Copies of this chain bind each other. A is one copy, B any other.
Amino acid sequence: MKELSVLLDLEAGRPIYEQIYDYIKREIREGKLKFETKLPSTRALSEHLNVSRSTVQLAYDQLVSEGYIESRPCRGYYVLKLDGLYDLTAVEYKEIHRSISQTVKYEIDFSPSGIELDNFPYNAWRKVSKNVMAEELDLFNIGEPQGDYSFRETIASYLHESRGVNCSPDNIIVGAGDQYLLMLLDRLLCAEHGNISYAMENPAYRKAYFVLNGMGRTVIPVPLDEYGMNVGVLRNSGAQVAYVTPSHHYPLGIVMSIGRRMEMLGWANEQQGRYIIEDDYDSEFRYRGKPIPALQGLDHNGKVIYIGTFSKSISPGLRISYMVLPDTLMDSYAKVGIRYSNTVSRIDQNIVNLFIKEGYYERHLNKMRGIYKTKHDALLAALKKMGKGYRISGESAGLHILLSSDKLSEVEMVQRAGRKGVRVYPLSEHYLDSHEEQNTIILGYARLREEEISRGITLLSEAFNEKNM
């Protein structure tokens, strides 16, 4: 049986099942996977690729439906004969491949990544940039490893006022994205406590998982209930550090209850060397009730490491995140962390600093909250028209919601939507281990206009409710 070394391009925002599908299709078209080759079982491939089994199933189903492979009962999946395709030159292949990629065109894409930039305050940004570059020539010199002090002061007071985070600028580390900060944090934790094992919510934000797992650490998936991470399972897992998204779980949208937050802190307080990483990635956008202060604000024992980002609230192209270390880790930072130069341009640090200090950030956030709320409400209103048999969740915050069906599997929903020109995203891709069949899809709405949202859901409704698709 041939080993399939599928190249998972997770960055490009393309669903994983589609990449597996593309890869196998290409291998067949190029003649690398020959007629009658047996493919690995969905279980074997899902384990090999560390994706859920239903993701692989989705890819195989699509290949079956397009006639590239067939399923033989009790035997598995086999490559079918494709005439006239084996002798393609590389150039011909590339052209064909391009045309194949282009055949799947989506009219409406409910991608959960990215933000709306139509209302970005470009003029304010340009003005601030110009002011920074006119005055601060010293910014071309190297800065402090933690980031410019004045920028850290601004972040500290923003976090205190908006998120109830207790911190001093001395405890803030500015870095080029959450992934970089996690790499650095892992260095500090391991320097202090040896080879750390992590617990992550399952499903989870996979880009964080890749970092921790990629560093060679043990990452233990811990399930969630409606209140957040299951602390009983966490306690039994033996993990020292728990990575959570309390404000708005990614991707389930669960807001961790106050009771669960206290339980999490209780777990952390039970032993030295236990920590909670609070990734507050999109706390700026909340549509229901009062803003929920950060878990970090409840911690009095130096147990919470708070991570935030400007990727959702300003721009993902900027690459600016920040981390608030508890005092308990500052010694480790002073010994180990300080050896790493800062990764964010000082000019950019000062632009964002001025953007916040001059009030543009708050105005922008208020405006975007209104815009996203309108989109969010439009999506909910449209979904209500879908009829019985559907369930909505994760709708109180953030930039995506979940839709579950009583009748259709996730695979069916993604395929039916695709045939109508609507791209929706399977939930199962976010599970860290093989997982039973899902019936839930993710609908991101940040980049869609109201009329696109409404049209998209009309198409989805048709697709899901038709009898013979």
Residues of A within 8 A of B (CB): 5, 7-12, 113-114, 117, 120, 122, 125-126, 129-130, 133-134, 137, 139-145, 176-177, 179-180, 183, 187, 190-191, 207, 210-211, 214-216, 311, 314-320, 331, 334-336, 338-348
Residues of chain B lying within 8 A (CB to CB) of residue A341? 11, 177, 179, 207, 319
Alpha-carbon separation in the docked complex, A26 to B103 (Å): 70
Contact between B339 and A319 (Cβ–Cβ < 8 Å)? Answer: no
Residue from B311, B339, B344 within 8 A of A214 (CB atoms) = B339
Contact between A9 and B319 (Cβ–Cβ < 8 Å)? Answer: no
Residues of chain B lying within 8 A (CB to CB) of residue A176? 176, 180, 319, 343-344
Residues of chain B lying within 8 A (CB to CB) of residue A335? 5, 7-8
Residues of chain B lying within 8 A (CB to CB) of residue A120? 137, 140
Contact between A338 and B142 (Cβ–Cβ < 8 Å)? Answer: no
Alpha-carbon separation in the docked complex, A346 to B345 (Å): 11
Contact between A345 and B316 (Cβ–Cβ < 8 Å)? Answer: no
Residues of chain B lying within 8 A (CB to CB) of residue A113? 142
Alpha-carbon separation in the docked complex, A334 to B140 (Å): 33
Q: Is the interface of A mostly helix, strand, loop or mixed?
A: loop
Contact between B180 and A11 (Cβ–Cβ < 8 Å)? Answer: no
Alpha-carbon separation in the docked complex, A120 to B137 (Å): 9
Residue from B126, B214, B339 within 8 A of A10 (CB atoms) = B339
Known: A8-B335, A210-B339, A334-B9. Is A117-B137 also a contact (CB below 8 A)? yes
Contact between A317 and B141 (Cβ–Cβ < 8 Å)? Answer: yes
Contact between B340 and A211 (Cβ–Cβ < 8 Å)? Answer: yes
Contact between B214 and A336 (Cβ–Cβ < 8 Å)? Answer: yes
Alpha-carbon separation in the docked complex, A179 to B337 (Å): 12
Extra A-B contacts (20), CB below 8 Å, given A345-B345, A348-B348? A5-B335, A7-B331, A7-B334, A11-B145, A11-B339, A11-B341, A120-B137, A140-B318, A143-B317, A177-B343, A190-B216, A207-B341, A211-B340, A214-B339, A317-B346, A317-B347, A318-B346, A319-B343, A319-B345, A344-B345
Residue from B7, B142, B215, B316 within 8 A of A114 (CB atoms) = B142
Residues of chain B lying within 8 A (CB to CB) of residue A142? 113-114, 311, 316-317
Contact between B319 and A342 (Cβ–Cβ < 8 Å)? Answer: yes
Give the residue name and chain of the B residue nearest to A13 (CB). Answer: B142
Residues of chain B lying within 8 A (CB to CB) of residue A12? 144
Contact between B140 and A210 (Cβ–Cβ < 8 Å)? Answer: no
Q: Closest CB of chain B to A119's CB: distance in Å? A: 11
Alpha-carbon separation in the docked complex, A250 to B149 (Å): 30
Residue from B139, B177, B211, B214 within 8 A of A317 (CB atoms) = B139
